[in-house]
Amino acid sequence: MNGEKAIKFLWSVFTIVGAIIVIIGLIVFFTACNYKDKVDTVGIITDTGNGTTVSYNVDGEEHESSFSGYSSSFHVGDEIEIYYDKDDVNKIGSKSLDLLYLILPGLGSIFLLIGVIGLAVLSHKKKKEKNLRENGELVYAAYSETIMNMNIRVNGRHPYNIIVQWNNPEDGKKYLLKSKNIYFNPEMIIEERNIKTFPVYMNPNNKKKYFVDVDILNKDVVDLT
């Protein structure tokens, strides 16, 4: 799998795993926290040794029961908002602690967001390249050097960038332009094929928006990874 496919696969995994976690988390939350047949009331904390034990009143009758949740803010003698089941008044819980069930879908949302943003960035780059190919100004820039992008690591390898030099006829200045990430070392191919220049597509209204076309490097290249 080449670098670009590996990155797309990674963002896709984040998206799919995130979506699954969100769905499972929400199912657990709504299943465990169905308040349709539950009555809100106020109780007094009587013990925090094994879960939380609460004393509370139902229709003038005193009850004491426990739920498994606990918070460091709970102290014996404190009032606490709880709920009990209409069909079994000894089954109680706390809505504030029930919110902990949202941790799972919250975590999934982070994964989902990272994946969606990653895929969106890749899609945006593809559209930008396509637009520059179709509407940009084609110029040719001289090959300068190949550098390694130490900021990115995919499949245990750093990608490469080709640096080209372009002389702007409008102002006579020389500009160094950088290609997108290339997930193999192109130096040998450039030398063997005696590549001196690379096509560059530029936005005629903004020279900072450009795309160095390195497709010539991919011809007849077999990726064995």
Chain segment 74-107, per-residue pLDDT in tens = 999 999 999 999 989 999 999 888 888 899 999 9
Are 138 and 200 a contacting pair, CB within 8 Å?
yes
Helix (H, G, I), strand (E, B) or coil at 59: coil
> For residue 208, is it within any domain?
yes
CA distance 14 to 112: 6
Let me know if residue 125 belongs to a domain.
Answer: no
143 and 93 within one domain? no
pTM over 0.85: no
**What domain range is 10 assigned to?**
3-104
Same domain, 97 and 147: no
164 and 95 housed in the same domain? no
Residue type, position 87, single letter: D
* pLDDT tops 60 at residue 224: no
Residues 6+ apart with CB under 8 A from 94: 52, 67, 69, 80, 81, 82, 83
| Domain count along the chain | 2
Contact 101, 29 (CB under 8 A): yes
Alpha-carbon gap, residue 164 to 126, rounded angstroms: 21
116 in a domain, yes or no? no
Q: Sheet harboring 79-85: ordered strands across? A: 61-67, 52-58, 38-47, 79-85, 92-93
Q: Write the pLDDT tens digit of every residue in 159-199.
A: 999 999 999 888 888 999 999 999 889 999 999 999 999 99
